[in-house]
Chains A and B, each alone.
Chain A
Amino acid sequence: MASLPLLTRRATLGTGAALLATPALAQGGAPIKVGLVAVQTGPQAALGTQLRDGWTLGLRQLNNQLGGRPVETLVIDDELRPDVAVTKVRAALERDRVDFVVGVVFSNILQAIMRPVTEANTFLISTNAGPSTFAGRGCNPYFFTTSYNNDQVHSVMGQAAQDEGYRRVFLMTPNYQAGRDAMAGFKSRFRGEVVDEIYVPLNQLDFSAELARIASARPDAVFTFMPGGLGVNLVRQYRQAGLANIPFLSTFTVDEATLPAQGEAALGFFAGANWAPNMDNEPNKRFVREFEAAFNYVPATYAAQSYDAANLLNSAVRRVNGNLSDKNALRQAIEAADFQSVRGPFRFGTNHYPVQDFWLCRVARRPDGKFQTETVRRVLEANVDPWAGECRMPARL
C-alpha cells in the first residue's frame, strides 16, 4: 500500500518510465475505463453534477485507482433523452471499451441503457435511479444499484405518517408514472384516511389553486413528491401561504440539491431518505467534509451514493486482484459489498438492490448558515424492497 502514491505520481508524469512501471502494478496495465452517465444539460443538470462530483471525490481519495489499477472516467451526458443516452453509451461500450457503466439520475434513462450495457456483459451500477422494473422479474446479474428502490422511499413517509398518528393526509404529486408510484408507495404503509389526491402537470408553476384546496381540507399532514424546480416552487409557496403549520412530508422534494433555492422556506419540512449529511459515522464525516472542501456545496444523496459506488468498485476490483475478465468472480466480488458505506450498514439483496435502513429527515440550518437534511429517527430497519421476492437471479452468468 505504501508504494501506491509513489506509483501514481510516476504514472501521472506520463513518461516512458512511468508507462513501464504500470504493468508491474496490475495485470493488463491499461487503465480501467468507467463510463459515468450523468445528466449535464437541461433543468435537472444540478442532480447530474452532484452525482458526478460524488464519484470524482471517491476516486480522488483512492488516488484515482480502483483496487490498485488506475482509472479513466468518461463522463457521458445523457441530456435526459433516452435515445441520446443509448447512442452515447453504445459508443462508450463499443469504441472506448468501458469496463463499467456507473451513474444515471433518472429511471427512464436507466431503462433505455439497461439492455445495451448488460447484453454487452458489462456491469452497470446505478447510483440513483432505482425503478421497480429491475428489482423484481426484470432483475439482472450485471445490474447493481447503490441507491434504493423508488417505492421504498415513498413507503418510508407512509410509515412515518402512520407512526406519527396522522389520521387524515392530503397527497399531491405530478401526473406521470413516478408520481402515481409515489402515491402507491405512500399508501402501501399508511392506514389512515387519504383526504384527497391531486395530480398536477409536470410543468406546473403556480400552486396557489392546490394550496387553497389543502387549506380548505385541513389535513393532519401533506405528502408530496415534487422533484427539482417543482419542489422549489411548491415549498416556497406553501410557506408563503401560511400552511407551514401542517406537517410537510415529502420525497425528493427537499434535499441538498434544492435547498439552496428553498432556504428558510423549507425549514422543518420532512423528507424520507437512506442517507443524510449529518449521519454520525467516520466514513460519512470524512465524505461530507472533503466534499464541501472540494466543491463548496452540501452533498445530497446523489453524491453520497456515487461516492459509495466508487468505494464499492474499489473493493470489488481489489478482491479479484484487478482481473476483470472473470465475470463470475467479479460479480461475486461486487455482491460481497466489502466496503464502508457512508450510510452505515450496507449489503446487497438477492436482486442486487441494497438492504438498508431508511430515515425520517428534517430540514435544518447548520451553524454556518447552509441548509441540509438531518436524520430525525430510523423508520425502517434493514429494509428489503417489495419486489425482491419476484427476482429469480441466475446463479452463474
Chain B
Amino acid sequence: MNTTLLLVQALNGLQFGVLLFLVAAGLTLVFGVMDFINLAHGVQYMVGAYLGAALAAMTGSFWLGLLLALPAALVFGLLLEWLVFRHLYARDHLSQVLATFGVILFLNEGVKAVFGAAPLQMPVPEALSGGVPIMEGLLYPTYRLAILAAGLLSAGLLWFLVERTRAGMLVRAGASNAPMLGALGVDVNRLFMLVFGFGAMLAGFAGVMAAPILSVEPGMGDNLLILAFVVIVIGGIGSVRGAFIAALLVGLVETIGRAMLPDLMRLMLDPSAARQTGAALASMLVYVVMAVILAVRPAGLFPVRR
C-alpha cells in the first residue's frame, strides 16, 4: 500500500469519525448529564434523515430540507422526551434500556408505515455535487468535504457552548452532580429537556448530512448506534471532548483497519484465507481497541470528574 492511498484512507477515516461524532455528541451529553441510557438515539438519527429526505423532496431543495429538518428533529426529540423519556429518569438503567429499545422497534416500524420499506433517496445538493481529484482515477466528493467541515464546525460550536457559556456551565455541573445543581436553584428538569432536545437535533443533523451518501431506510440508525456507544465509552461518558477524540479514533481505526488488515494478513496466510480473516478481524478491531483502552483507563480517555 502506497502513501497516497494511506493518506486517502486517513481522510476517509476522519470523515467517518466526524459523522460518528455528530451522533455520539448528543448521546454522551444525555448519558453524562442525565445518567440516562437512550438507545433510541439511533432512531433519532434515522428520523432526522427521513425528515430531511421528505422535506427536501417536498421543497425541491436540499438546503430548505436541511433547514426545516433541524427544528422538526428538535420538536420530535422534545415530543419523545415529554411522552416517554421524562417518566424514566428516576428509574434504573434496565427500565431505560427496555423502554428506549421499545421506542426503537416502534419508530423503525413507524417510518416504514409512513414512508414505506424501500430506501429513500436524498440528492446531493447541486453546489456540492462535484469532486476533487485526490489520486489517479478517484474523486473525493465535495459533499464529503462539506460533511467534514460541518462536523468540525459543530464540534467547535459545541466546545464553545459547553466550555464558554452559562448554559454549558450548568450542563457540566449537571454531569458532575445533578442533585447539588438542583439544590442551588437550577431547574434541572428544564435543563435536562434542553440537553435532550439539543442532542436529538444533533442526531437529526447527522442524519440529514448522511442521507445523500448513505441509504435512508428503516433501521439505518441501529448500526451507527453501536459505534456511537463505543465512542462515548472510549471517550469517557459525558465528555464532549472525549467523544470528539474517540469518534475520530474509531473512524480511523475502522477505515484503516478495513483497508490494511487483509494485506497484513497476507504476509502470514494464503490470499483467500487472508482476505476472509482480514475482513473478520477488521470488523472486530474497533472493539479490540475499546477493550484495550478500557483495560488501561476504565473511565475512558477523558473521564468526567465526579
Report the bound CA distance from A45 to B218 in whole Å. Answer: 10
Q: Which residues of A contact B212 (CB under 8 A)?
A: 236
Contact (A206, B16) CB under 8 Å given A46-B116, A201-B283, A260-B121: yes
Would B138 and A241 count as touching, CB distance under 8 A? yes
Q: Which of B5, B120, B124, B255 contacts A261 (CB 8 A)?
A: B120
Interface string of B2-13 (1 = CB under 8 A from A): 101100110011
Would B141 and A241 count as touching, CB distance under 8 A? yes
Interface string of A142-177 (1 = CB under 8 A from B): 000000000000000000000000000000000100
Interface string of A234-248 (1 = CB under 8 A from B): 001100111100100
Would A46 and B117 count as touching, CB distance under 8 A? yes
Closest to B119 in A: A261
Q: Which of B4, B219, B224, B272 contacts A197 (CB 8 A)?
A: B272
Answer whether residue A205 sits at the interface, using C-beta atoms and an 8 A cutoff.
yes
Segment of B29-37, B239-247, B274-282 in the binding face: B274-282
Would B141 and A240 count as touching, CB distance under 8 A? yes
Answer whether residue B118 sits at the interface, using C-beta atoms and an 8 A cutoff.
yes
Interface string of B255-269 (1 = CB under 8 A from A): 110110010000000
Report the bound CA distance from A64 to B17 in whole Å. Answer: 54
Report the bound CA distance from A52 to B109 in whole Å. Answer: 18
Answer whether residue A12 sits at the interface, using C-beta atoms and an 8 A cutoff.
no
Q: Which residues of B contact A198 (CB under 8 A)?
A: 262, 275, 279
Closest to B7 in A: A212
**B173: min CB distance to chain A, Å:** 36
- B-side interface size class: 35 or more
Would A240 and B118 count as touching, CB distance under 8 A? no
Report the bound CA distance from A37 to B272 in whole Å. Answer: 36
Segment of A130-138, A213-221, A329-337, A386-394 in the binding face: A213-221
**A262: min CB distance to chain B, Å:** 7
- Count residues of A near B (Cβ-Cβ below 8 Å): 45
Q: Which of A200, A206, A215, A237 contacts B137 (CB 8 A)?
A: A215
**A18: min CB distance to chain B, Å:** 35
Residues facing B in A257-278 (CB within 8 A) are: 257-258, 260-263
Answer whether residue B198 sits at the interface, using C-beta atoms and an 8 A cutoff.
no
Would B15 and A218 count as touching, CB distance under 8 A? no
Would B119 and A229 count as touching, CB distance under 8 A? yes
Answer whether residue B213 sits at the interface, using C-beta atoms and an 8 A cutoff.
yes
Q: Which residues of B contact A175 (CB under 8 A)?
A: 276, 279-280, 283
Would B124 and A240 count as touching, CB distance under 8 A? yes
**B291: min CB distance to chain A, Å:** 18
Contact (A42, B121) CB under 8 Å given A201-B283, A211-B138: no
Interface string of A348-373 (1 = CB under 8 A from B): 00000000000000000000000000
Q: Which residues of B contact A200 (CB under 8 A)?
A: 258, 279
Q: Which residues of A contact B279 (CB under 8 A)?
A: 175, 198-201
Answer whether residue B41 sits at the interface, using C-beta atoms and an 8 A cutoff.
no
Q: Which residues of A contact B116 (CB under 8 A)?
A: 46
Q: Which residues of B contact A57 (CB under 8 A)?
A: none
Report the bound CA distance from A243 to B140 in whole Å. Answer: 11
Answer whether residue A233 sits at the interface, using C-beta atoms and an 8 A cutoff.
yes
Answer whether residue B139 sits at the interface, using C-beta atoms and an 8 A cutoff.
yes
Answer whether residue A41 sits at the interface, using C-beta atoms and an 8 A cutoff.
yes
Report the bound CA distance from A42 to B222 in whole Å. Answer: 12
Q: Which residues of A contact B124 (CB under 8 A)?
A: 240
Closest to B112 in A: A45
Q: Which residues of B contact A212 (CB under 8 A)?
A: 5, 8-9, 12, 135, 138, 259
Would B216 and A261 count as touching, CB distance under 8 A? yes
Report the bound CA distance from A125 to B282 in whole Å. Answer: 39
Would A49 and B117 count as touching, CB distance under 8 A? yes
Report the bound CA distance from A218 to B4 in whole Å. Answer: 15
Q: Which of A209, A228, A246 contacts B9 (CB 8 A)?
A: A209
Residue of A41, A236, A237, A240 with most chain B CB atoms under a 10 A cut-off: A240
Would A240 and B131 count as touching, CB distance under 8 A? yes
Report the bound CA distance from A211 to B138 in whole Å. Answer: 8
Q: Which residues of B contact A199 (CB under 8 A)?
A: 275-276, 279
Q: Which of A44, A233, A243 contacts B215 (CB 8 A)?
A: A233
Where the two chains meet, the residues of A that have a C-beta atom closer than 8 Å to any C-beta of B are 41-46, 48-49, 175, 180, 197-201, 203, 205-206, 208-213, 215-216, 218, 228-229, 232-233, 236-237, 240-243, 246, 257-258, 260-263, 297
- 10 A-B contact pairs sorted by A residue (CB < 8 Å): A45-B117, A197-B272, A206-B16, A206-B255, A209-B258, A210-B258, A212-B259, A260-B121, A261-B120, A263-B123
Given A175-B280, A208-B144; 20 other pairs, CB 8 A cutoff:
A41-B112, A43-B117, A43-B217, A46-B119, A199-B279, A205-B214, A205-B223, A206-B255, A209-B13, A209-B256, A210-B259, A212-B5, A218-B137, A229-B215, A232-B119, A236-B213, A240-B124, A240-B143, A246-B137, A258-B118
Closest A-B pairs by Cβ, 8 of them: A242-B139, A232-B215, A215-B138, A45-B117, A261-B119, A199-B279, A208-B12, A46-B118
